[in-house]
Amino acid sequence: MDLKTFFEYFDTLAEAPNGIQRLRELILDMAVRGKLVPQDPKDLTGQETFEKLLKEKADLAKEKRIGSTGFSMLV
């Protein structure tokens, strides 16, 4: 369901049995899929962001500005 359709059927969904719970689920699903706001084509993917952070951490460790442990534990 896209945002336009969601708002067209909001009243019907809200008044249906278990409607409020279903609305919460739909909103969460739309949020997770990035359907609530316009997407910025300049945004990085999750993988690209993670790789950028790993490189920045490695650069800081090389400069001895931070320790070299810890971040790799998240992988």
d(CA 52, CA 59): 11
CB-based contacts of 23, cutoff 8 Å, min separation 6: 10, 13, 14
CB 61 within 8 A of CB 47: no
Q: What pTM was estimated for this model as a whole?
A: 0.50
Q: Can you say how many angstroms the Cα of residue 27 is from the centroid of all Cα atoms in its chain?
A: 13
- Chain segment 3-61, per-residue pLDDT in tens: 788 889 889 988 999 999 999 998 999 898 888 888 888 988 889 999 999 999 988 88
Please count the CA atoms within 13 angstroms of the CA of 65 that sit on its side-chain side: 6
